[in-house]
Amino acid sequence: MLREVTADRYVTPLREGGSLPGLVEAAETGDSGGAAGGAARDAGLWVAKFVGAAQGRKALVAEVVAGELARRLGLRVPELARMEVDPRVAVGEPDQQVQDLVKASGGTNLGMAYLSGALGFDPLAFAVDAATAGRVVWFDALIGNVDRSWRNPNLLMRDGELWLIDHGASLIFHHNWPRASASARKPYDASDHVLAPFGPNLAAADAELGPRVTETLLAEVLALVPDVWLADEPGFEDPDAVRAAYVTQLATRAAGPRDWWVAA
Protein backbone atom coordinates (compact mmCIF):
# COMPACT_ATOMS: atom_id res chain seq x y z
CA MET A 1 0.00 0.00 0.00
CA LEU A 2 1.00 3.62 -0.31
CA ARG A 3 2.78 5.18 2.63
CA GLU A 4 0.41 7.14 4.86
CA VAL A 5 1.24 10.62 6.07
CA THR A 6 -0.66 13.31 7.91
CA ALA A 7 -0.46 16.97 6.96
CA ASP A 8 0.89 18.98 9.90
CA ARG A 9 1.40 22.42 8.41
CA TYR A 10 0.38 24.11 5.19
CA VAL A 11 3.49 25.91 3.95
CA THR A 12 2.56 27.64 0.70
CA PRO A 13 0.37 27.21 -2.37
CA LEU A 14 2.02 26.12 -5.63
CA ARG A 15 0.24 28.19 -8.22
CA GLU A 16 1.84 26.57 -11.26
CA GLY A 17 -0.88 23.91 -11.28
CA GLY A 18 -4.51 24.57 -12.12
CA SER A 19 -5.64 22.43 -9.19
CA LEU A 20 -3.77 24.68 -6.71
CA PRO A 21 -1.60 22.05 -5.02
CA GLY A 22 0.17 23.08 -1.84
CA LEU A 23 3.51 22.45 -0.20
CA VAL A 24 2.95 20.94 3.24
CA GLU A 25 4.93 19.48 6.10
CA ALA A 26 3.72 16.01 7.02
CA ALA A 27 4.32 13.33 9.62
CA GLU A 28 4.17 9.57 9.28
CA THR A 29 2.69 7.32 11.95
CA GLY A 30 3.76 3.87 13.03
CA ASP A 31 0.63 2.42 11.40
CA SER A 32 2.28 2.93 7.99
CA GLY A 33 5.71 1.70 8.87
CA GLY A 34 6.99 4.63 10.89
CA ALA A 35 7.95 4.86 14.54
CA ALA A 36 6.89 2.05 16.84
CA GLY A 37 3.71 2.34 18.85
CA GLY A 38 2.03 4.73 16.43
CA ALA A 39 4.25 7.70 17.34
CA ALA A 40 4.49 10.23 14.54
CA ARG A 41 7.78 10.92 12.84
CA ASP A 42 8.73 13.63 10.40
CA ALA A 43 8.05 12.64 6.81
CA GLY A 44 9.37 15.85 5.27
CA LEU A 45 7.92 18.16 2.64
CA TRP A 46 5.19 16.98 0.31
CA VAL A 47 3.21 18.47 -2.54
CA ALA A 48 -0.41 17.97 -1.54
CA LYS A 49 -3.01 17.44 -4.23
CA PHE A 50 -6.46 17.99 -2.83
CA VAL A 51 -9.60 15.98 -3.41
CA GLY A 52 -11.65 19.16 -3.15
CA ALA A 53 -10.01 20.72 -6.23
CA ALA A 54 -12.08 21.29 -9.33
CA GLN A 55 -10.65 18.17 -11.00
CA GLY A 56 -12.00 16.05 -8.13
CA ARG A 57 -11.04 12.61 -6.96
CA LYS A 58 -10.55 11.16 -10.45
CA ALA A 59 -7.47 13.32 -10.89
CA LEU A 60 -6.02 11.69 -7.77
CA VAL A 61 -6.90 8.23 -9.07
CA ALA A 62 -5.09 9.06 -12.31
CA GLU A 63 -2.07 10.29 -10.34
CA VAL A 64 -1.77 7.01 -8.46
CA VAL A 65 -2.49 4.68 -11.38
CA ALA A 66 -0.21 6.50 -13.83
CA GLY A 67 2.51 7.29 -11.31
CA GLU A 68 2.77 3.82 -9.81
CA LEU A 69 2.56 2.15 -13.22
CA ALA A 70 5.36 4.40 -14.48
CA ARG A 71 7.48 3.47 -11.47
CA ARG A 72 7.05 -0.24 -12.16
CA LEU A 73 8.09 0.32 -15.76
CA GLY A 74 11.36 1.91 -14.63
CA LEU A 75 10.45 5.58 -15.02
CA ARG A 76 11.22 8.03 -12.23
CA VAL A 77 8.22 9.38 -10.31
CA PRO A 78 8.39 11.08 -6.89
CA GLU A 79 7.05 8.90 -4.08
CA LEU A 80 3.28 9.05 -3.72
CA ALA A 81 1.45 8.77 -0.40
CA ARG A 82 -2.01 8.84 1.06
CA MET A 83 -2.20 12.13 2.91
CA GLU A 84 -4.74 12.69 5.65
CA VAL A 85 -5.74 16.33 5.88
CA ASP A 86 -7.53 18.09 8.71
CA PRO A 87 -9.27 21.18 7.26
CA ARG A 88 -7.82 23.21 10.12
CA VAL A 89 -4.30 22.73 8.77
CA ALA A 90 -4.63 25.88 6.63
CA VAL A 91 -6.21 28.07 9.27
CA GLY A 92 -3.28 30.48 9.13
CA GLU A 93 -3.26 30.75 5.34
CA PRO A 94 -4.46 34.27 4.35
CA ASP A 95 -5.63 33.28 0.84
CA GLN A 96 -9.37 32.58 0.99
CA GLN A 97 -9.19 30.38 -2.11
CA VAL A 98 -6.68 28.13 -0.37
CA GLN A 99 -8.73 28.03 2.82
CA ASP A 100 -11.84 27.04 0.89
CA LEU A 101 -9.95 24.32 -0.98
CA VAL A 102 -8.49 22.75 2.16
CA LYS A 103 -11.82 22.97 3.98
CA ALA A 104 -13.39 21.00 1.12
CA SER A 105 -10.64 18.37 1.26
CA GLY A 106 -10.88 16.88 4.74
CA GLY A 107 -9.88 13.22 4.77
CA THR A 108 -7.75 11.30 2.28
CA ASN A 109 -5.79 13.32 -0.26
CA LEU A 110 -2.66 12.67 -2.32
CA GLY A 111 0.88 13.56 -1.34
CA MET A 112 3.82 13.67 -3.75
CA ALA A 113 7.31 13.80 -2.28
CA TYR A 114 8.91 17.20 -2.81
CA LEU A 115 12.10 16.94 -4.88
CA SER A 116 14.43 19.49 -3.36
CA GLY A 117 16.72 21.10 -5.91
CA ALA A 118 14.79 19.87 -8.94
CA LEU A 119 14.38 22.18 -11.91
CA GLY A 120 11.49 22.36 -14.32
CA PHE A 121 12.36 20.67 -17.61
CA ASP A 122 13.27 23.04 -20.44
CA PRO A 123 13.81 21.34 -23.82
CA LEU A 124 16.19 24.15 -24.79
CA ALA A 125 18.37 23.66 -21.72
CA PHE A 126 18.40 19.89 -21.22
CA ALA A 127 19.09 16.97 -23.55
CA VAL A 128 17.24 13.65 -23.45
CA ASP A 129 18.48 10.54 -25.23
CA ALA A 130 16.24 8.84 -27.77
CA ALA A 131 15.72 5.75 -25.64
CA THR A 132 14.52 7.70 -22.59
CA ALA A 133 12.38 9.98 -24.74
CA GLY A 134 10.84 6.90 -26.35
CA ARG A 135 9.93 5.32 -23.04
CA VAL A 136 8.27 8.50 -21.77
CA VAL A 137 6.32 9.15 -24.98
CA TRP A 138 5.26 5.49 -25.17
CA PHE A 139 4.09 5.57 -21.57
CA ASP A 140 2.12 8.79 -22.16
CA ALA A 141 0.51 7.15 -25.18
CA LEU A 142 -0.51 4.19 -23.03
CA ILE A 143 -2.22 6.35 -20.41
CA GLY A 144 -3.49 8.96 -22.86
CA ASN A 145 -1.61 11.79 -21.17
CA VAL A 146 -2.46 15.07 -22.90
CA ASP A 147 -0.45 17.21 -20.48
CA ARG A 148 3.21 16.80 -21.44
CA SER A 149 3.61 19.52 -24.07
CA TRP A 150 6.32 22.16 -24.36
CA ARG A 151 3.81 24.59 -22.81
CA ASN A 152 3.51 22.45 -19.68
CA PRO A 153 6.14 19.67 -19.66
CA ASN A 154 5.34 18.20 -16.21
CA LEU A 155 8.90 16.95 -16.09
CA LEU A 156 11.64 17.76 -13.60
CA MET A 157 15.41 17.46 -13.81
CA ARG A 158 17.48 16.68 -10.74
CA ASP A 159 21.13 15.63 -10.79
CA GLY A 160 20.87 14.85 -14.48
CA GLU A 161 17.86 12.56 -14.03
CA LEU A 162 14.44 13.03 -15.60
CA TRP A 163 11.39 12.78 -13.29
CA LEU A 164 7.74 12.53 -14.33
CA ILE A 165 5.09 14.45 -12.39
CA ASP A 166 1.45 15.51 -12.60
CA HIS A 167 -0.58 12.79 -14.30
CA GLY A 168 -4.02 13.98 -13.19
CA ALA A 169 -5.07 14.75 -16.77
CA SER A 170 -4.40 11.20 -17.99
CA LEU A 171 -6.84 8.25 -18.17
CA ILE A 172 -9.45 10.46 -19.81
CA PHE A 173 -11.66 7.42 -20.41
CA HIS A 174 -12.68 7.29 -16.73
CA HIS A 175 -14.72 10.46 -17.17
CA ASN A 176 -17.16 8.54 -19.39
CA TRP A 177 -17.20 4.88 -18.44
CA PRO A 178 -20.08 3.87 -20.77
CA ARG A 179 -17.91 4.81 -23.76
CA ALA A 180 -14.53 3.86 -22.31
CA SER A 181 -14.08 0.60 -24.20
CA ALA A 182 -14.49 2.39 -27.52
CA SER A 183 -11.37 4.44 -26.80
CA ALA A 184 -9.13 1.54 -25.74
CA ARG A 185 -7.15 1.69 -28.99
CA LYS A 186 -7.48 5.39 -29.70
CA PRO A 187 -4.31 6.67 -31.44
CA TYR A 188 -2.06 9.02 -29.51
CA ASP A 189 -0.82 12.16 -31.23
CA ALA A 190 2.71 12.79 -29.97
CA SER A 191 3.42 15.72 -32.30
CA ASP A 192 2.99 18.25 -29.46
CA HIS A 193 4.90 16.19 -26.87
CA VAL A 194 7.75 18.06 -25.21
CA LEU A 195 10.14 15.19 -25.98
CA ALA A 196 9.19 14.90 -29.66
CA PRO A 197 12.26 16.91 -30.78
CA PHE A 198 14.59 14.33 -29.20
CA GLY A 199 13.77 11.57 -31.70
CA PRO A 200 12.02 9.19 -29.28
CA ASN A 201 12.67 5.56 -30.14
CA LEU A 202 9.11 4.33 -29.82
CA ALA A 203 9.69 0.97 -31.45
CA ALA A 204 12.31 0.04 -28.85
CA ALA A 205 10.14 1.33 -26.04
CA ASP A 206 7.18 -0.69 -27.29
CA ALA A 207 9.24 -3.86 -27.46
CA GLU A 208 10.62 -3.27 -23.96
CA LEU A 209 7.57 -1.99 -22.08
CA GLY A 210 4.56 -3.41 -23.88
CA PRO A 211 4.90 -7.04 -22.70
CA ARG A 212 5.39 -5.85 -19.10
CA VAL A 213 1.94 -4.22 -18.84
CA THR A 214 0.00 -7.28 -17.75
CA GLU A 215 -3.29 -7.66 -15.94
CA THR A 216 -1.36 -8.81 -12.89
CA LEU A 217 0.77 -5.66 -12.86
CA LEU A 218 -2.27 -3.44 -13.43
CA ALA A 219 -4.20 -5.12 -10.62
CA GLU A 220 -1.24 -4.51 -8.30
CA VAL A 221 -1.28 -0.82 -9.20
CA LEU A 222 -5.05 -0.43 -8.85
CA ALA A 223 -4.94 -2.02 -5.41
CA LEU A 224 -3.05 1.09 -4.25
CA VAL A 225 -5.98 3.41 -5.00
CA PRO A 226 -7.95 4.19 -1.81
CA ASP A 227 -11.53 2.91 -1.73
CA VAL A 228 -12.82 6.36 -0.83
CA TRP A 229 -11.79 7.70 -4.25
CA LEU A 230 -13.64 4.90 -6.05
CA ALA A 231 -16.78 4.61 -3.93
CA ASP A 232 -20.22 5.38 -5.36
CA GLU A 233 -19.05 5.47 -8.96
CA PRO A 234 -22.20 5.37 -11.13
CA GLY A 235 -22.65 2.03 -12.85
CA PHE A 236 -20.41 0.06 -10.48
CA GLU A 237 -21.29 -2.08 -7.50
CA ASP A 238 -18.25 -1.29 -5.37
CA PRO A 239 -14.64 -0.01 -5.55
CA ASP A 240 -13.32 -3.40 -6.62
CA ALA A 241 -15.61 -3.35 -9.64
CA VAL A 242 -14.18 0.05 -10.60
CA ARG A 243 -10.65 -1.28 -10.19
CA ALA A 244 -11.48 -4.18 -12.47
CA ALA A 245 -12.73 -1.76 -15.12
CA TYR A 246 -9.45 0.17 -15.06
CA VAL A 247 -7.51 -3.08 -15.37
CA THR A 248 -9.61 -4.23 -18.33
CA GLN A 249 -9.32 -0.88 -20.10
CA LEU A 250 -5.54 -0.57 -19.74
CA ALA A 251 -4.88 -4.27 -20.37
CA THR A 252 -6.88 -4.05 -23.60
CA ARG A 253 -4.85 -1.03 -24.68
CA ALA A 254 -1.56 -2.72 -23.82
CA ALA A 255 -2.42 -5.98 -25.61
CA GLY A 256 -0.84 -6.45 -29.01
CA PRO A 257 -0.90 -5.31 -31.64
CA ARG A 258 -0.18 -1.93 -30.05
CA ASP A 259 -0.99 0.28 -33.03
CA TRP A 260 -2.08 3.29 -30.94
CA TRP A 261 1.35 4.84 -30.56
CA VAL A 262 2.47 6.98 -33.47
CA ALA A 263 5.84 8.38 -34.46
CA ALA A 264 6.52 11.81 -32.95
Average pLDDT, whole number, for the chain?
92
What band does 263 get if pLDDT is binned at 50, 70 and 90? low
Question: Is pLDDT above 60 for 32?
Answer: no
What band does 84 get if pLDDT is binned at 50, 70 and 90? very high
Encode pLDDT of 214-262 as tens digits.
999 999 999 999 999 999 999 999 999 999 999 999 999 999 788 887 6
Greater model confidence, 19 or 236: 236
Same domain, residue pair 54 and 95: yes
Same domain, residue pair 138 and 207: yes
Encode pLDDT of 112-145 as tens digits.
999 999 999 999 999 999 999 999 999 999 999 9
DSSP assignment string, the chain: --EEEEEEEEEEE-TTSTT--EEEEEEE-GGGTSSGGG--EEEEEEEEE-TTSTT-HHHHHHHHHHHHHHHHTT-----EEEEEE-GGGGTT---HHHHHHHHTT-EEEEEEE--TT-EE--TTT----HHHHHHHHHHHHHHT----BTTB--EEEETTEEEE---TT--GGGG-GGGGGGGTT--B--TTBTTGGG---HHHHHHHHGGG--HHHHHHHHTTS-GGGTTT-TT-SSHHHHHHHHHHHHHHHHSSS---B---
Q: Is residue 264 part of a domain?
A: no
The whole domain housing 14 covers 3-113
Same domain, residue pair 131 and 103: no
Encode pLDDT of 149-160 as tens digits.
999 999 999 999
- Rounded to an integer, the average pLDDT of 195-222 is 97
Same domain, residue pair 181 and 86: no
